[in-house]
């Protein structure tokens, strides 16, 4: 067992023992045949940036063995490790109810078990608290912030480290003490890479971060919209140890609800076309042509593979909207001045055709679009 010591408070009465550092794998996986997913960033792009200052003591935890390394070096790389940090119960209890509860259940340990670097107060007893799996740098940054050791906390980090910090902050319920640094981190990450516009690992990391830190409703709404729009079912995403399982379940429920609204809307339009004597211009031929196109489309998708029926596995909201917005339907013969009348409606010409499937589905589409824009973090938590 190799031990790394990190002293935050030399007179601290707590020794926090982090076992299996960096074992929490939080970068989610997205399973899809879509081209956008194939071009997603590899997990290595979310590795922490090189540690600096006080945090360089942890660099050896992030060194990956290479084929050129000798046998002894490989054995050392696979040796189990732990991090021991000397910290203050007063600081922890003040900012974190989770730490406060942990300390109440901890027992005093023998003085001889003290960390060797904590010799400034050799006779002072301490409480040993165990934790496991956290990213060492992320945990240490949070603890430094709690203890007011702000000078060497990095102001520029990447999205992967911010997400790892967020997992620590969420678990220990200490958002307030990190809030000032979060502003620096967020601005720099946005400045460097902006926000994603399709469903990818970055989208899910931002979604989680916005659920941890308050005041991120606007960004959350954008990320949630992307997820719900492109999400094709619960089997598409593996969250790993990122705490978004509940959010994904509720976002999937939202996906199903919106697709059902579109499906029900198409069936309502079909029923109307069966019953109406003519379109809004009183033309029965227009209604008949539109009905034929819609009936054919619904039949094809009902028997497609996979079928467009509940629970709509492998269908996203964007796919369902595309059925409406890009379906090929004949141009109404009325209301088209000029010698040349195109045979089919151009879905991208910007015009509204009230008799068309798309025109009749406008209220449903607008409602779906509105609901996609009104999602809040509180709606997707436990």
CA atoms within 13 A on the CB side of 339: 0
285/283 Cα distance (integer angstroms): 5
Label the pairing between strands 237-238 and 81-87: unpaired
pLDDT of residue 349: 75
Q: What is the dihedral of CA 175, 117, 72, 42, to 10 degrees?
A: 10
Element (H, E) at 323: helix 317-325
87/92 Cα distance (integer angstroms): 8
pLDDT of residue 110: 41
pLDDT of residue 47: 97
What is the pTM for the complete model shown?
0.87
Q: What is the CA radius of gyration of the chain?
A: 28
99/364 Cα distance (integer angstroms): 49
220/206 Cα distance (integer angstroms): 7
pLDDT of residue 121: 46
Q: Identify the CA nearest to 114 among candidates 125, 106, 104, 103.
A: 125
Task: Compute mean pLDDT per 10 residues along the chain, 382 residues long, and list them.
Answer: 94 95 96 65 95 94 66 60 96 91 66 42 73 98 97 96 98 94 96 94 98 95 96 92 96 96 96 92 89 93 90 93 88 66 72 86 95 92 80
Ramachandran class of 335: left when φ > 0, alpha when ψ lies in -120 to 50, beta otherwise:
left
φ and ψ of 71, to 5 deg: -60, -45
220/161 Cα distance (integer angstroms): 19
pLDDT per position as a tens digit, 42-95: 999 999 999 999 999 999 999 876 555 555 554 555 678 999 999 999 999 999
Q: Identify the CA nearest to 301 among candidates 273, 320, 316, 287.
A: 320
175/178 Cα distance (integer angstroms): 5
Place of tokens 């200490």: 174
Q: Which residues pair with 53 in a beta bridge?
A: none
Element (H, E) at 301: helix 284-302
pLDDT of residue 326: 84
Q: Identify the CA nearest to 128 among candidates 95, 166, 85.
A: 85
The domain spans of the chain are 2-195, 252-380
């Amino acid at each position: 067992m190799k031990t790394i010591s990190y002293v935050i408070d030399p007179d601290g009465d707590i020794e926090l023992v982090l076992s299996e550092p960096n074992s929490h794998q939080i970068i989610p996986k997205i399973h899809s045949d879509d081209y956008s997913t194939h071009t997603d960033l590899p997990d290595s792009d979310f590795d922490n940036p090189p540690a600096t200052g006080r945090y360089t003591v942890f660099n050896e935890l992030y060194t990956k063995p290479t084929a050129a390394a000798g046998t002894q070096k490989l054995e050392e790389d696979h040796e189990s490790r732990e991090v021991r940090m000397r910290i203050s119960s007063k600081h922890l209890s003040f900012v974190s109810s989770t730490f406060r509860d942990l300390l109440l259940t901890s027992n005093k340990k023998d003085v001889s078990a003290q960390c060797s670097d904590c010799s400034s107060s050799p006779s002072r007893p301490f409480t040993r608290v165990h934790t496991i799996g956290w990213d060492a740098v992320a945990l240490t940054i949070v603890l430094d912030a709690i203890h007011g050791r702000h000078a060497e906390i990095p102001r520029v980090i990447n999205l992967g480290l911010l997400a790892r910090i967020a997992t620590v902050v969420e678990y220990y319920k200490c958002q307030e003490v990190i809030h000032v640094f979060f502003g620096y981190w967020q601005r720099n990450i946005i400045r460097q890479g902006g926000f994603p516009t399709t469903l990818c690992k970055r989208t899910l990391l931002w979604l989680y971060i916005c659920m941890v830190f308050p005041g991120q409703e606007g960004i959350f709404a954008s990320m949630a919209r992307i997820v719900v729009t492109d999400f094709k079912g619960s089997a598409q995403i593996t969250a790993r140890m990122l705490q978004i399982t509940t959010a994904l379940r509720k976002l999937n429920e939202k996906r199903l609800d919106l697709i059902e609204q579109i499906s029900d809307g198409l069936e309502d339009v079909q029923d109307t076309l069966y019953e109406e004597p003519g379109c809004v211009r009183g033309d029965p031929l227009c209604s008949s042509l539109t009905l034929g196109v819609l009936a054919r489309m619904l039949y094809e998708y009902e028997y497609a593979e996979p079928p467009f029926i509940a629970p709509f596995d492998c269908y996203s909201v964007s796919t369902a909207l595309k059925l409406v917005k890009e379906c090929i339907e004949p141009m109404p013969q009325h209301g088209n001045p000029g010698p040349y009348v195109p045979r089919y409606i151009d879905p991208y010409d910007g015009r509204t055709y009230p008799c068309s499937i798309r025109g009749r589905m406008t209220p449903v589409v607008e409602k779906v679009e509105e609901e996609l824009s009104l999602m809040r973090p509180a709606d997707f938590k436990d």
